[in-house]
Structure formats: structure tokens, C-alpha cells
Amino acid sequence: MTKILLSMAVLSSISMAGGDVGSFENSDASLSELEQLKSRVAALESQKQTPKADDKTANKKIEKLEKKIKSLNKKLNKVKAHDALDNIKFSLDVRNSVDIIDYTYNNYHYKGQDLSGTTASNDSLFTSRVFLNMKSQASKNLSFQGQMAAYYIWGSHLMGDEDPSMKSWAASSKATDTLFRIRRAYFVYNDDDQPYAVSIGRRQASDGFLANHRENNPEPASPLAHITNMEVDGAMVKLKTEQFMPLPGSYLKLIYGRAHAGGMETLYDAKGYKPYAQNDGDVNENVDFVVAVASLYNDGQYNLMGEHAVILNTKGARTGTPIGADLPDGSGKNKSLDAGTAQLSALSLQVDGIGDEINDFLDDTVLFASVAQSLYQPDNGKELLGSTDDETGKSVWVGATFPDMITESGRFGIEYNKGSKYWTPMTWAEDTAIGSKLAVRGDAYEAYWNFNLFGEKNLPSQVRYTHIQHDYTPNIRCSGWVAPQNVDIEADDIRFSVSYKY
């Protein structure tokens, strides 16, 4: 009987919508008709329970009505299946932060100026960041993910266009202006019955593996943050190696992409009509990259991942000409020019839980460690990182997160990073307001507390302190034409942030 009454409500709605199964509306008229249908069913049930000569007639009416309901349920199931795919699901992530930053220049020279002994600070840097997330699934095997982003400083001028190095894939990861930009936009083809998946577009490559803890994100993005913390435009093929190798959770991703399109003229250039064409031998060549990301082992407690990236035409300089000066052939300035190859490698391990059910605190403790290396190889007659020789940089990153024992789901975290003189990863995204701590050439210490403000799971918040000791020229944007020099710079950042996620 309950099933009949519930289905009557659906029948009434469809009747009021003109028979359109995909449209349902509530109205006084539909409610009135529903009451009438309830009365009819009640009367029929009464006839069915009361011995009368026309019992068979009442039963037939009920059976006929039930058949119509079954037919309607089939149609509704089709509608539900269609609507589950035929839409774009939106979600929101709005973060507001205040940073207190300080710099102490114990030993630093910049463009001929001796800044040693000076300081700089900002006691209230307010920023807001808005992520508008999009997801859709056109079919069982084909899906799309996108993210629009705006990241800006309160009360600031528009500064995105003033920095020529501000690429479209980097601007949404640095506090610039209120413009919405495409941070992620890619589709994935994934058939569970096939040992591969394919994806093309702007990939989710910031806040990756291990960096998600300090960013208060439960799930990491695809790459290893130790060497890649920037959005990338590329195509990916994922091989599900777990299906034919005795390694739980293993897979291999192969990515090709482009970080810079060089020497390209547009329709409005005054050098002749050749829009989007490139001149052969231009000093400003395309920067392409090939990346291999592998989950080597993941049994739920131990998660070991590796990554190797090769960047072609990495930007550097020519030998024999001062940095920034005109090249002898008049083809451009001796800065940010194709100069060689960079190779980046990382091996990262995360351990979810210490021991095996020793106690709840240890079970919920996460430890992680990562080692990484950068190798810059200049071409003949060119230099990278101020050297004509191959230069290797190394980095170590260790950390832990554990329950705060104060709030229901809050966590404390501590991290340490150390990098050598030539350590130069691809970390354009600002993981702190004082620059990338992942790219530090020196030491970085960090402590943070992630918690839900007022106990609301939709208000994830953070208090974080970061101290960076630069022993060599800070690695601002992986600038291959900048030679690292000995410096002594201390940077501190105290941050409080609160987000709204829905």
C-alpha cells in the first residue's frame, strides 16, 4: 500500500508537468490531485477488504493500477540514469587568509646593492582565493574535471599583467588579481575492463603527493609535489600495472606537455602576416616536457611513489654575454633563452599508521619522507644556473601529521626541507607567502594545525608557521639563467586561514 501511495505522488507530478518525465514541479493543483488519488486507492482497498459481489472488479482495478505504477517506475529509472550523467556538478572552495611576514637580510646583494643588515615585513597581508570546481560524466567511461580560480590580495592593484613571467597556468597559484582563470580542465577516458586510461588538458599538478597535508587537502593531486608544484598542459596515458604485476596499488602515468610556446607571432604583430607561426632557430624555443609518475607500492599503509621529468629547451643564457644584455646577433636579450635540458627525479614514501593497532593515536599518525634531485645540462655555448657544466641539486623533505587530541578531527603537522646550492625544481605555485619552501636552497621548518572552525566540516581552517633559511639565492621561479650565490636570508610567515568548502 505504501508503495502505491508513493507512486501516486509521482504520477500526480508527471500529470501536472504535461507528461514530461524529466520535469517535476510542486503545486497546489498537484497536491489536490494527489489527495484525490489517495481517496481512490483507499476506496478500492476498502472494496477489496469488504465482501461484495464486485470484489473481482475492485481487484482488477488495483492490479491494473499496479501495472501502470511498475511501468512508470521503469521510466523513472531511465530518467534517473540519464540525469546522473546529463549535468555538471559544481562545488566551491573559498579561502581567506592573513599572513604576517618578515625578512632579515643578514648577507644579500641585489643588482649591485648591498642589502645586508636590512629587514622587510608586512604585518597584515590579506588574501582571498576562490575555486569553482566542475565535474561531469558523459558516460560510464568518460568524465571531465575543471576548476576556475581567482586569487587576489585585498586592496591591491591588478598586478598580473605587470609580470611578463606570469603564465596562464601559474597566475591562479599566486596572489594576483580578481580575474577567474582556468586552473584545471581535462577529460579522462577510463574503462575498468582495459589496462589503461587517457587524459588530455590542463592537469591537476599543484598540491600533489605529500603537499596535500600542509594544504589541508585529504586527497593529493597526481604528481609528486617535491619536484612538480604547478599546473601543466599536457596529455596523459595511465597504465594500470597492478592488473599484471604483483604490486598492490601500482600504476604508471606517462605525460607529455608544453610549458612555454616560444617565438610565436600573433595576428596583430607588425612583422608580417604569419599568425601563430614560429621561426626556425629562434632563441625563444618551445619548452616541452616528458614526465613519468609511478605508484610503486600502495597497500593502504605504505605508499611509495616515484617521478622523473625531462624538460627540453630549459631557459638559461648564452656564454660570453652579460645576463640581460643584447645578444651579439641582435636576436634578443641574454636571458630566459633555450639553453639545455633539465632532469628532475623524486622518490616519496608515506606511512599511514605506526605499527599495527598499537593504539588509536599511532594508528592515526602519518609519517612521510622524500628525496629528490635536479640535474641541469646546458648545451654547448650556453649556461644553466650560471654554469657551463652539468650541475646537480639535491633535496630532502620529511614530515609527520597526527591527531591534535583537542578537536574531533583536527591534526598537527611538522615538516622539514633542506636543499643544496643548485636545487631547482618546478614549483612555480607559491606554497607559502614567502615563496616556495619546497625549492629552498638551505633549510625550511614548518608547523601547522588543521582543524574545523566551530566544529563545522565545511569550514576547514589552519594556523601555520614557516621559517626559511636561504643559504643561496632564493629559487623564485626555477630561473635557469640565475646563478645561485651565497646569501644569508631569513624569512618567516605566520598564517591563519579559514575556508568554506561545499
Domain with CATH 2.40.160.10 in the chain: 87-501
> Whose CA is closest to 365, among 177, 190, 213?
213
Asked if pLDDT for residue 5 goes beyond 50, the answer is no
Contact 11, 72 (CB under 8 A): yes
pLDDT given at position 105: 96
Higher local confidence (pLDDT), 28 or 301: 301
Higher pLDDT, 12 or 111: 111
Average pLDDT over residues 438-454: 97
Residue 270 pLDDT > 60, yes or no? no
pLDDT for the residue 124: 95
Q: Which residue would you say has higher pLDDT here, 215 or 10?
A: 215
Between CA 224 and CA 438 the distance in angstroms is 11
Q: Which has the closest alpha carbon to 227: 450, 77, 426, 455?
A: 426
Label the pairing between strands 109-110 and 113-114.
antiparallel
Residue with cell 595511465: 238
The model's pTM is: 0.80
Indicate the range of 85-89, 103-107, 145-149, 200-204 predicted with least confidence. Answer: 85-89
- Residue 117 above 50 pLDDT? yes
Closest by Cα among 343, 341, 336, 330 to 317: 336
pLDDT tens profile 399-428: 999 999 999 999 999 999 999 999 999 887
CATH class for the region spanning 87-501: mainly beta
* Residue in 86, 95, 228 with CA at minimum distance from that of residue 154: 95
Which of 310, 317, 428 lies closest to 375 in space, CA to CA? 310
Residue percentage of the chain with pLDDT more than 90: 55
Comparison of pLDDT for 160 and 227, the residue scoring more = 227
Residue 162 has what pLDDT? Answer: 55
pLDDT for the residue numbered 156: 78
Q: Tens digit of pLDDT for each residue in 46-62?
A: 655 555 545 667 677 77
User: Can you tell me the distance from the alpha carbon of 262 to that of 47, in angstroms, rounded to the nearest whole number?
Assistant: 83
d(CA 43, CA 64): 15
Q: What integer pLDDT is reported at residue 159 of this predicted model? A: 57
- Cα gap 361→402, rounded to integer Å: 7
Q: Stretch 299-321: mean pLDDT, rounded?
A: 93
Averaged pLDDT, 60-81:
73
Strand partners, 407: none
Give the residue-averaged pLDDT of 466-493. Answer: 91
Q: Which amino acid is at 443?
A: D
Predicted pLDDT of residue 231: 84
- Per-residue pLDDT, averaged over 57-86, amounts to 71
Q: Which residue has the higher pLDDT, 428 or 133?
A: 133
Give the lowest-confidence range in 404-408, 455-459, 475-479: 475-479
pLDDT higher at 393 or 68: 393
- CB contact set of 17 (below 8 Å; sequence gap of 6+): 23, 24, 25
pLDDT in tens, 357-395: 888 899 999 999 999 999 999 999 999 999 999 999 999
Residue 12 has pLDDT above 80, yes or no: no
Q: Is pLDDT at 40 greater than 50 in this prediction? A: yes
CA distance 102 to 112: 23
Query: Taking 70 as the threshold, does the pLDDT of residue 350 lie above it?
Result: yes
